[in-house]
Chains A and B, each alone.
Chain A
Amino acid sequence: MSTLTASAPSTGLTVRTVSKSFGRTTVLHDFDLEIRPGEMISLLGPSGCGKTTALRIIAGLESPDGGQVFLGDRDVVSVPTNRRDLGMVFQSYSLFPHLDVAANTAFGLGMRRVDAAERRTRTAEALRLVGLEAHAERYPHELSGGQQQRVALARALVTEPRLLLLDEPLSALDAKVRVQLRDQIRQIQLRLGITTVFVTHDQEEALAVSDRIAVMNEGRVEQFDTPERLYRTPATSAVAAFIGTSLRVPVTVRDNTALLFGLAVALQAPRADGEATVLVRPENVIVVQAEPNATVLSSSFLGATRRTLLRTDEGLELIMQHGAEQTLDAEQRVSVSVRPEPVLAV
């Protein structure tokens, strides 16, 4: 008898040059994605960039105009949703209102003609996994939003699918529950080792749960990388703008280095000499011991860090994020510089 423990038979997922239009609006074009077995990735992007459409194509709820979707090494584009062996949690509450929690959870097992005894044990186990074993006899309308989404997760996992798809499952919940549940989802995913695609428009959520993040913009994947590399070396300005905060600083480029506050900083990608704008993270802005070149406008305490607004003598406004122990007063004259991290020129 199979049980819900580690090493569910996971599969890789490959999406190749998928395109999709609704009428005259092109929602996806040349959409590529390659996910390793057991990996959890996020599709991150602004609202309307095509995340849900991409997920629905992977699920088979929408058919692509072109391209392929491989589950393992099998092209599943023509396989109907109900035969793709996947689990999905939707943005809106999707529990069956006429069934109690146990029956909702057992639904997929019933479809697979699992016998009653095994159905009961596996259902109980899935509910224990999401911490709702005491609520098995409740009906969906008797549960909070967070509980409903946990049941939906149990329902999606109970069949041990090859692929788990989550379409903004937390967006209807309030902030505290959202953080708890996303951590719980990640723990369960790691424990089961199930290949997972998590759709979100919330960068913090994506950074918190993903092995890798595919940042989407206007129907394409702009960059697909680990959270850390996305943050440190964004490939495009859209990625830099979407993940964390970036300051735009005008510079002169020579020999693929930018001159920033008298410091030669390497560029991430080669670029012709001349005027350019580079993106700098607020935590890479620092104050050094030298001739003052800027004035502090304001400084606010954020707990572990402080955020200080500066204006350079050239009239450029900068945000500096620094440790709380370093105090700066308004009107104070300082010498501002940057850490020598490679920067992206746009």
Chain B
Amino acid sequence: MAVTSPAPVAPAVPSGARPRRRTAGPSRPAPRTATAVITLSLIAAAFAIPLISMLEFSLRTADGHGLDHWIALFSPETAGRYSVIWTGLGNSLILALVTVAIVLLLLAPTMLLVTLRFPRLRRTMELLCLLPLSLPAIVLVVGLVPIYLGIGRSLGTGAWTLAFAYGVTVIPYAYRAIQSNIDAVDVVTLSEAARTLGAGWLSVVLRVLVPNLRRGLLAACLISVAVVLGEFTIASLLNRSTLQTALFVVNKQDPYAAVILSLLSLAFAYVLLVLIGRVGGPRRGPRRRRDRATS
């Protein structure tokens, strides 16, 4: 009677609910393998089921399943029909690039400058950077329309100009990512140490700060790319063609193609994340050697 059975009941128990406690040893909040497995399975299912359904849908043909839609999408004779997608994808990639550049070349240096030289401005900076979070995209667009009229006149209406708006929308996320890294490293002491050792400001930034802030900078870039590739509202309302607006257009003509392209863009984003993670991961992590001499 000591242990209640792990229950075939209620397969969809919310993980937080903990319906059954072991009556023995209540003082020990042991890691419950069963709970962990169920939670992970639920999460995996939540991600996998829509993806699998999309894949299944894209494989449907008039008489069962096949690769017809996939082949059609990539065959030369139908290429023209989907060219809007490729333009959109190209634009989105350029936008992602420019946005990342804004984060790395504008936001990050500003944050370092505030940390190192103007620590009093930190609160103001934080407030400003988190502000866009509280603005719904629609509201943002209302404000952006007149600005983009001006931008259109001076810089043209190229899709890349959207990066200015995206720069604003990604700032809160990029800021948090970088700031938490700055807080975890004693940036001030490290750069002062480097300066006393003869490093000029450029060396301080490139040799000391960037290597130690790599994780934060990387996270900021990743989240910026993710936001840009997934953004629809602003692009649509400002009449720019991006991956998401193109998908929307294609979806109306050919839902199969739209689903296939969505799958592909997800796969692409995934590969991108893995790649960047590889490049940015610990280069030659602290090699722990078996020590010959200690003390």
Residues of A within 8 A of B (CB): 59, 61, 80-88, 90, 92-98, 100, 107-108, 111-112, 134, 137-139, 141-142, 152, 155-156, 159, 165
Contacts and interface: CB of A to CB of B under 8 A. Distances in A.
A137 B289 contact: yes
Nearest to A158: B197
Given A94-B190, A98-B211, A98-B212, A142 B288 contact: yes
Nearest to A90: B189
Interface stretch (B23-31, B49-57, B123-131, B198-206): B198-206
B192 A82 contact: no
Interface residues of B, number: 26
A81 B208 contact: no
B196 A111 contact: no
A107 B190 CA distance: 12
Contacts of B293: 134
B153 interface: no
A94 B186 contact: yes
B195 A134 contact: no
22 contacts: A61-B192, A80-B200, A81-B196, A82-B195, A82-B197, A82-B198, A82-B199, A82-B200, A88-B193, A88-B196, A90-B189, A92-B189, A96-B190, A97-B212, A107-B199, A111-B197, A111-B198, A134-B293, A137-B287, A137-B289, A139-B286, A159-B198
Nearest 8 interchain pairs by C-beta:
A111-B198, A108-B197, A88-B196, A94-B193, A134-B293, A139-B286, A81-B195, A98-B211
Contacts of B196: 59, 61, 81-82, 84, 86-88, 156, 165
A141 B200 CA distance: 26
Interface of B: 185-186, 189-190, 192-200, 203, 207-208, 211-212, 286-289, 291-294
B194 A107 contact: yes
A151 B185 CA distance: 19
Contacts of B198: 82-83, 85, 108, 111-112, 159
A155 B197 CA distance: 8
B201 to A, nearest CB: 9
A5 to B, nearest CB: 21
A92 B287 contact: no
A92 B195 contact: no
A162 to B, nearest CB: 12
B286 A142 contact: yes
Nearest to B293: A134
B197 A159 contact: yes
Centre residue among B193, B203, B286, B291 by max chain A CB count within 10 A = B193
A150 to B, nearest CB: 12
Given A82-B198, A112-B198, A96 B192 contact: no
B289 A96 contact: no
Contacts of A111: 197-199, 203
A56 B288 CA distance: 36
Nearest to B292: A134
Contacts of A88: 192-193, 196
Contact of A97 (B185, B203, B207): B185
A93 B195 CA distance: 15
B185 A107 contact: no
A90 B185 CA distance: 15
